[in-house]
């Protein structure tokens, strides 16, 4: 099989063979003439740009099927829409804030129940058997605390109980971790982030090997109107071509920044999956090909002080999202996890002093110097 970089660059049919185009065009159309060779009829039901991107994603993930959506939240919605009234979802307690909001404020109204479990605790495995959920929902590494879940162990327990497992793989991407090979049923990715890598398009994707699950995703894409735009798919197809190059630089920057901040007097703690002080480093080394490019730190600071640090940075923009070529800094308690109840944030450790760094492709020395000057604002 070709290597990751080769598969990220080379896609299949461009649906424009008569021109010999190397990069597929944007098929900016809502409607297709009946009887065309590609079987297209209406872009909500499929578009050449969807299929091109889906082919690249399935190749990089080394799986049978990929289905693209309009955003990461759209991909989450597609999966959650397969649940029925009364179904129970066992969720890792530290999930992306919008995932929490969808389950607790939207799907709860339709009778879908959620229970929040610490899946780094071995006792969580027995909960799968005893609670008999309809689905297990994981992230690894988690957002924003970078907990690393033993995916093989959880998937094995879920398989024994006949329970499908969803893994949000956005922070790692398939280049760092392949959940399907570890036993997951579905691998979910916000392609807005590392896959596209340029902070200029929204998208999501669900990868799987099960044809029945693939058909459920295709149905949700069409029936719920969760499809992406052809233009965003074109941008993401272009972006993924440089994913291996970008991610290599971003992970090197993340490791350097994490090591530097770990000894900084204003920083109480640092989380980065491959550091020896990470609680699940052994699991990370076993199931990940790198540490990713997110670093989470705990500042000895109030919210106002943490904000001041974030705003004093030159090379880090204070913003939502992550995974782009530019470095970003985020204050999860008031940004990505603002919708999470205060008592839940306190329980999880999402404090006012917690800051999440998304490392880009800049020179590491510049990023470290920038952080150092901003941290001088702290007493």
In the annotation, is 193 catalytic?
A: yes
CATH number of 243-375: 3.90.1150.10
Question: Which residue among the candidates 193, 216, 246, 345 is catalytic per the annotation?
Answer: 193
- pLDDT-derived band at 350, boundaries 50, 70, 90: confident
CA distance 145 to 111: 29
Whole-structure pTM value: 0.96
For residue range 308-339, list pLDDT tens digits in order: 999 999 999 999 999 999 999 999 988 888 87
β-strand 354-358 against 327-330: which pairing, if any? antiparallel
- For residues 88-114, average pLDDT: 96
Any idea which fold 4-240 has? Answer: 3.40.640
pLDDT above 90 (res 263)? yes
Q: Is the dihedral of CA 28, 34, 38, 42 positive or negative?
A: positive
For residue range 145-178, list pLDDT tens digits in order: 999 999 999 999 999 999 999 999 999 999 999 9
CA distance 293 to 272: 9
Domain ranges of the chain: 4-240, 243-375
Reference 247, options 187, 197, 309; nearest CA is: 197
In the annotation, is 44 catalytic?
A: yes
Question: Which residue among the candidates 168, 209, 352, 370 is catalytic per the annotation?
Answer: 168
Q: How far is CA 93 from CA 104, 138, 321, in A?
A: 13, 9, 20
Question: Which residue among the candidates 4, 41, 44, 238 is catalytic per the annotation?
Answer: 44
Share of the chain above pLDDT 70, in %: 100
Question: Which residue among the candidates 96, 345, 352, 370 is catalytic per the annotation?
Answer: 96
pLDDT score at 331: 94
For residue range 113-140, list pLDDT tens digits in order: 999 999 999 999 999 999 999 999 999 9
Residue 66 tokens, joined: 């990929």
Give me the chain's average pLDDT, please: 96
In the annotation, is 168 catalytic?
A: yes
């Amino acid at each position: 099989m070709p290597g990751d970089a080769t598969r990220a660059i080379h896609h299949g049919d461009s649906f424009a063979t008569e021109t010999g185009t190397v990069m597929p065009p944007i098929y900016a159309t809502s409607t297709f003439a009946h009887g065309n060779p590609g079987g297209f009829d209406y872009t909500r039901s499929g578009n050449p740009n969807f299929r091109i991107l889906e082919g690249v994603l399935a190749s990089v993930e080394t799986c049978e099927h990929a289905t693209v959506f309009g955003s990461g939240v759209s991909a989450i919605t597609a999966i959650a829409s397969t649940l029925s009234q009364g179904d129970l979802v066992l969720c890792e307690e530290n999930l992306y804030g919008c995932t929490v909001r969808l389950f607790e404020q939207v799907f709860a109204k339709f009778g879908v129940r959620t229970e929040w479990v610490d899946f780094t605790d071995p006792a969580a495995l027995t909960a799968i058997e005893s609670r008999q959920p309809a689905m297990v929902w994981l992230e690894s590494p988690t957002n924003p605390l970078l907990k690393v879940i033993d995916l093989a162990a959880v998937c094995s327990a879920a398989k024994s109980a006949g329970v499908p497992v969803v893994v949000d793989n956005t922070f790692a991407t398939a280049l760092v971790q392949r959940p399907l090979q570890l036993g997951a049923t579905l691998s979910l990715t916000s392609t807005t982030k590392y896959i596209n890598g340029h902070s200029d398009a929204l998208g999501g994707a669900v990868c799987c090997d099960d044809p029945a699950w693939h058909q459920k995703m295709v149905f949700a894409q069409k029936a719920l109107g969760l499809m992406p735009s052809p233009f965003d798919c074109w941008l993401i197809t272009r972006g993924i071509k440089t994913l291996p190059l970008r991610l290599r630089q971003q992970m090197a920057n993340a490791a350097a920044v994490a090591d530097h901040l770990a000894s900084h007097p204003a920083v109480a703690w640092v989380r980065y999956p491959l550091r020896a002080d990470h609680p699940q480093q052994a699991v990370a080394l076993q199931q990940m090909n790198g540490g990713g490019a997110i670093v989470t730190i705990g500042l000895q600071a109030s919210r106002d002080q943490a904000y001041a640090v974030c705003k004093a940075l030159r090379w880090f923009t204070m913003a939502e999202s992550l995974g782009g070529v530019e470095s970003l800094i985020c204050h999860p308690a008031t940004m990505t996890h603002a919708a999470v109840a205060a008592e839940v944030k306190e329980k999880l450790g999402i404090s006012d002093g917690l800051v999440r760094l998304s490392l880009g492709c800049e020179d590491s020395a510049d990023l470290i110097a920038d952080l150092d000057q901003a941290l001088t604002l702290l007493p």
